[in-house]
Amino acid sequence: MMNRTQMREHAFKLLYSLEVQKNEELEQQIDLYMENNEIQNDEEAKRYIKNAIMRY
């Protein structure tokens, strides 16, 4: 399980990569990022990161 600092770090990395890519398929990009960073099994981290990204 990730701590909050790790979750924040992943959220900011993902947010930055989405800004650079300007891709309209946001949900797919988030899922792909989580899969590539092996986050898909940590429900709390997934929820935190998705909520952080969707606010922007």
In a domain, 42, yes or no: yes
In a domain, 4, yes or no: no
Q: Say what the pLDDT of residue 45 is.
A: 93
Q: Say what the pLDDT of residue 54 is.
A: 81
Domain region containing 16: 10-54
Q: pLDDT tens string for the chain (56 positions)? A: 889 999 999 999 888 887 766 656 788 888 888 999 999 899 999 999 888 888 76
In a domain, 39, yes or no: yes
In a domain, 2, yes or no: no
In a domain, 5, yes or no: no
In a domain, 19, yes or no: yes
DSSP letters for the chain: ---HHHHHHHHHHHHHHHHHHT-S-HHHHHHHHHHHTT-TT-HHHHHHHHHHHHT-
The domain total for the chain is: 1
In a domain, 50, yes or no: yes
In a domain, 48, yes or no: yes
Q: Say what the pLDDT of residue 48 is.
A: 92
Q: Say what the pLDDT of residue 20 is.
A: 63
Q: Say what the pLDDT of residue 43 is.
A: 94
